[in-house]
Amino acid sequence: MIKLHVTNEVSRLRAVVLGRADSQGKNPKLEDTYDPKSAEHIKKGTYPIEPAMIREIEALNEIFIKYGITVYRPEQIKNYNQIFARDIAFVIEDKLIKANILPDRDKEIQAIEYVWQQIPKENRITLPEDAHIEGGDVMPWNEYIFVGTYREKNYPNIITARTNMKAVKLLKELFPNKKVKSFNLKKSVGFQPEKSKSNTVEELHEFAKNNALHLDCCFQPLGMGKAIIHKEGFLEETEYLWLVNFFGKENCFHITADEMYQMNSNIFSIAPDVVVSEKNFIRLNTWLRNQGFTVEEVPYAEIAKQEGLLRCSTMPLVRDNQ
């Protein structure tokens, strides 16, 4: 049995599910994409190839091995994208909660059934189908649970809106001892996969630059009281200011629109003072080291073309008490 324990984003990591990239199959068609950044790279002919993605995700696995972390991998599904383990489930305290993700991705959950079966039944949570939620929007933070959402009336028509307020309400009921704080995120409302053939590369790029697919695409709490944040990722300035005040302006690293597009906020903490980051994030990595962090750099720029990075690829199961 696995004794789950996750209460924040930064305590020393002991066990994690890491996605896999070794049987991606054919590139998706434009009309079948889930996000504008993937569509942009398909249109440009720069969509990542499988060998490059395997190298990148295995470089992350090597870091986990270096730190003695137990790594679980999804069972392989032939010709299927299984990189982004964070989307399919998430742990809060001792509960593993299955995400209600896009219907086309249901097989990804089946691929971690062997992990699910190692959790006591009372700690396995399946939400109702109309409670939409993905792990990239959920951040346990000690007495808080931060949740990205989209509250606008056009939610049902926006493919980049992944977590609704019904799921936020259910998290409040599941964890009455926690303060569940939701944040209304900016979505690229103009992106419609079925119409993307008529979009130019430049239009798709602008959609991607103006899209906070999940909360971890525009915000990331770090150890030592620090945080990464992108103001324009939030629809409501008051919610952005709440986070800045919570962490302190002097502790927040503000990223630009281009840095958000490159996924600078989607790094991953192994310990309060150890992070894994993309090797090309020069400005961020320099700041992190100046703040006292050990920065383990890996290549991840190809996987980033699918609008996901290091946090998206990982689903922590066990962290120490801080």
Residue 132: the pLDDT is 93
25-29, 187-191, 282-286: range with lowest mean pLDDT: 25-29
Query: Mean pLDDT score of the chain, rounded to an integer?
Result: 95
Q: Is 199 inside a domain boundary?
A: yes
Does the structure show a pLDDT above 70 at 76?
Answer: yes
For residue 252, what are the CA distances in angstroms to 255, 269, 272?
A: 9, 16, 16
Residue 26: the pLDDT is 87
What's the CATH number where 157 sits? 3.75.10.10
Q: In angstroms, rounded to a whole number, what is the distance separating the alpha carbons of residues 259 and 267?
A: 12
Host domain of residue 113: 13-214+307-319
What letters, b where the CB count within 10 A reaches 16 and e where it falls short, cover 276-289? bbbeebeebbeebe
Does the structure show a pLDDT above 90 at 231?
Answer: yes
Residue 110: the pLDDT is 87
**DSSP per-residue letters across 238-290:** HHHHHHHHHH-GGGEEEPPHHHHHTTTT--EEEETTEEEEETT-HHHHHHHHH
Residue 109: the pLDDT is 85
Is the CA virtual torsion 75, 77, 79, 82 positive or negative?
negative
Q: Is 296 inside a domain boundary?
A: no
Contacts of 220 (CB under 8 A, 6+ apart): 9, 227, 228, 229, 265, 266, 267, 311
Contacts of 127 (CB under 8 A, 6+ apart): 97, 98, 100, 133, 167, 170
Q: Is 19 inside a domain boundary?
A: yes
Residue 107: the pLDDT is 79
Q: Is 156 inside a domain boundary?
A: yes
Mean pLDDT of 61-74: 98
Q: Is 74 inside a domain boundary?
A: yes
Query: For residues 135 and 315, is the Cβ–Cβ distance under 8 A?
Result: yes
Q: What is the pLDDT of residues 145-188, one digit of tens each?
A: 999 999 999 999 999 999 999 999 999 999 999 999 999 999 99
11, two tokens: 């305590």
Q: What is the pLDDT of residues 105-128, one digit of tens each?
A: 777 888 999 999 999 999 999 999
Q: Is 270 inside a domain boundary?
A: no
Residue 202: the pLDDT is 95
Provide the number of structural domains found in the chain. 1
Nearest to residue 44, comparing CAs of 204, 160, 194, 193? Answer: 204
Q: Is 311 inside a domain boundary?
A: yes
Question: How much is the pTM?
Answer: 0.96
Residue 322: the pLDDT is 67
Contacts of 212 (CB under 8 A, 6+ apart): 148, 185, 186, 187, 218, 230, 233, 234, 260
